C-alpha cells in the first residue's frame, strides 16, 4: 500500500514538474479552488442555504448563472454532433471528442450546481415525481420537463463519451473493449439525433420558457414563448463558439496542433451564421418588450434598466454579438487566427451576458414602480462553489486531453512528425 501511494505521489510530482512555471501556478490556483469548493460544499449541504445571500427576491443563488450558462454553452455539443453525424460536415471530426466531453461536463456540473440550489438535496427526486398535476391530470410544471430532458440528454452524453474513454491505448488493447468502442462509435448518429431532439426542449424550457411565463415580472414576461425559441438559437450560436474556443485554448496550452485550423474555422463559420439569427431575434425581442410587453405593466422599457444591473448589460451583449458576426462571417477576418479567436470569444461572452441579464437583472426589477431595485451580493461560499465547479471542469478536460485520445488528429500529427 505504501508503495502504491508513493508511486502515485511520484507520478503527480513528475507530471507537475513537467510543466512550465506559469502552468504550475495555474495548477495551484485550480487545486485551491477545488479544495475550497469541497469545503464550502460540505458547509452548504449540511448547514443549509443560510450561508448564501438568497432571499425572497433573489430566489436562486449565483450558481444558477453557471447552470444557465453551462446548459446554453454546452448546447454546442448537440449542434456540433448534428452537423457532423446528420449533415455530414466531416471537417468537424477532429474536435467531436472534445465537444462530447465539454457537453458532458457542462451537464454534469449543471446537476451539481442544482444540488446546492435546491437547498434540500434529499428532495432532488421531487423534480421527477411531482409535475404539479393540473386539469385532467395534465402536468403543469415546466421544471419537470426540464429535469427529465436534462437527465435523458445527460445519459446520451454518457453513451457518447464511452468510446472516447475506451480508445485509451491500454483499454483499447483489450479486444472486448475495442469492439464495444468501435460499434458504439458507429451508432453515434443515433445518439446525435436523440440529443438534438432532447436539447431543443430543455434549451428552450430552461433558458426561456421558465421565465417568460411569469406574467408578474416585467423583465421576463413575453407572450407566445418567444424567449423559449430565442434560447434555443442562443445555444446553437454561443455553444458552437464555446466548442471552438476550448480545444483552441487546449492546443495553445499543449503547444500542439490538436485540430486543423480548417476545423476551427468551419465551426466558427457555423457559429457566425447562427449569431446573425440570434442577434436578429434579440433585436426583435427588445423591440417587442419596449413596444408591447413592458408597457402592459404601465412601465417604460428604459425604466426597468435602473439599478446596479443597468443598460450596460444590454449594450455589452449587443456589442459582443456584432463583433462575433463581423469576425466570424467575414472571410478575411475568420481566416486570420487572432480575429477568429476574438469572434468566438465575443460569442461566448454574449451568451454569458445574456444569462447574467436573465438572472441578475430579472430578479432585481421591482414588481411595482414605487419599489427600489434589488441587488445580489454572493457570499464567499457561493463564489467558491461556482468557481470551484468550473475549475473541476478544467481539471477533467486537461486530464482527458493529456491521457486519452481526446484529439485523434494529434495522434496523426505526432505520427507524421516521427
Separation between Cα atoms, residue 10 and residue 16, nearest integer Å: 10
Residue 385: enclosing H or E segment and its boundaries?
A: helix 380-403
Reference 316, options 343, 352, 292; nearest CA is 352
Could you tell me the residue ranges of all domains in the chain?
Answer: 25-405
Give yes or no for a contact between 277 and 233, defined as CB atoms under 8 angstroms apart. yes
- Residues 6 or more apart whose CB falls under 8 angstroms from that of 203 comprise 71, 72, 75, 231, 232, 235
User: Consecutive sets of 10 residues in the chain, 418 residues long: mean pLDDT of each?
Assistant: 74 81 90 94 88 86 84 89 90 92 92 84 82 72 79 87 84 82 80 82 78 84 84 92 95 89 95 96 93 89 85 94 96 94 96 89 86 89 92 93 84 54
Please give the Cα distance from 241 to 264 (Å, whole number): 9
Question: Under CATH, what is the fold of the domain 25-405?
Answer: Formate dehydrogenase/DMSO reductase fold (1.20.1630)
pTM beyond 0.85: the answer is yes
pLDDT, residue 397, reads: 94
CA-nearest of 40, 104, 34 to 76 is: 104
Amino acid at each position: 500500500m505504501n508503495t502504491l501511494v508513493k508511486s502515485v505521489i511520484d507520478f503527480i510530482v513528475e507530471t507537475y514538474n513537467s510543466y512550465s512555471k506559469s502552468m504550475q501556478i495555474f495548477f495551484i490556483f485550480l487545486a485551491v479552488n477545488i479544495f475550497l469548493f469541497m469545503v464550502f460544499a460540505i458547509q452548504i449541504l449540511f448547514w443549509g442555504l443560510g450561508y448564501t445571500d438568497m432571499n425572497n427576491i433573489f430566489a436562486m443563488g449565483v450558481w444558477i448563472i453557471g447552470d444557465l450558462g453551462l446548459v446554453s454553452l454546452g448546447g454546442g455539443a448537440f449542434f456540433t454532433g448534428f452537423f457532423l453525424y446528420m449533415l455530414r460536415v466531416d471537417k468537424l471530426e477532429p474536435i467531436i471528442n472534445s465537444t462530447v466531453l465539454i457537453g458532458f461536463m457542462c451537464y454534469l456540473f449543471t446537476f451539481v450546481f442544482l444540488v446546492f440550489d435546491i437547498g434540500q438535496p434529499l428532495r432532488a427526486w421531487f423534480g421527477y415525481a411531482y409535475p404539479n398535476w393540473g386539469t385532467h391530470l395534465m402536468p403543469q410544471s415546466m421544471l419537470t420537463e426540464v429535469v427529465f430532458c436534462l437527465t435523458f440528454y445527460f445519459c446520451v452524453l454518457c453513451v457518447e463519451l464511452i468510446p472516447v474513454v475506451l480508445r485509451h491505448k491500454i483499454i483499447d488493447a483489450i479486444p472486448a473493449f475495442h469492439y464495444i468502442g468501435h460499434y458504439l462509435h458507429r451508432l453515434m448518429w443515433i445518439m446525435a439525433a436523440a440529443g438534438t431532439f432532447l436539447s431543443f426542449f430543455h434549451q428552450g424550457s430552461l433558458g426561456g420558457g421558465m421565465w417568460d411565463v411569469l406574467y408578474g415580472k416585467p423583465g421576463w414576461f413575453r407572450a407566445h414563448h418567444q424567449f423559449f425559441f430565442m434560447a434555443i438559437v442562443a445555444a446553437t450560436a454561443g455553444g458552437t463558439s464555446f466548442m471552438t474556443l476550448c480545444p483552441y485554448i487546449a492546443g495553445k496550452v499543449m503547444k500542439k496542433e490538436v485540430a486543423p485550423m480548417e476545423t476551427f474555422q468551419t465551426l466558427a463559420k457555423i457559429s457566425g451564421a447562427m449569431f446573425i439569427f440570434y442577434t436578429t431575434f434579440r433585436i426583435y425581442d427588445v423591440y417587442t418588450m419596449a413596444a408591447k410587453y413592458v408597457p402592459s405593466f404601465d412601465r417604460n422599457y428604459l425604466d426597468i434598466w435602473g439599478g446596479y444591473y443597468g443598460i450596460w448589460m444590454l449594450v455589452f451583449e449587443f456589442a459582443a454579438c456584432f463583433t462575433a458576426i463581423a469576425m466570424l462571417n467575414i472571410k478575411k477576418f475568420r481566416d486570420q487566427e487572432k480575429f477568429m479567436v476574438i469572434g468566438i470569444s465575443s460569442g461566448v461572452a454574449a451568451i454569458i451576458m445574456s444569462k447574467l441579464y436573465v438572472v441578475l437583472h430579472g430578479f432585481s426589477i421591482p414588481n411595482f414602480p414605487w419599489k427600489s431595485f434589488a441587488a445580489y451580493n454572493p457570499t464567499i461560499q457561493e463564489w467558491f462553489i461556482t468557481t470551484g465547479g468550473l475549475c473541476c471542469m478544467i481539471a477533467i478536460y486537461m486530464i482527458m486531453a493529456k491521457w486519452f485520445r481526446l484529439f485523434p488528429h494529434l495522434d496523426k500529427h505526432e505520427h507524421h512528425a516521427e
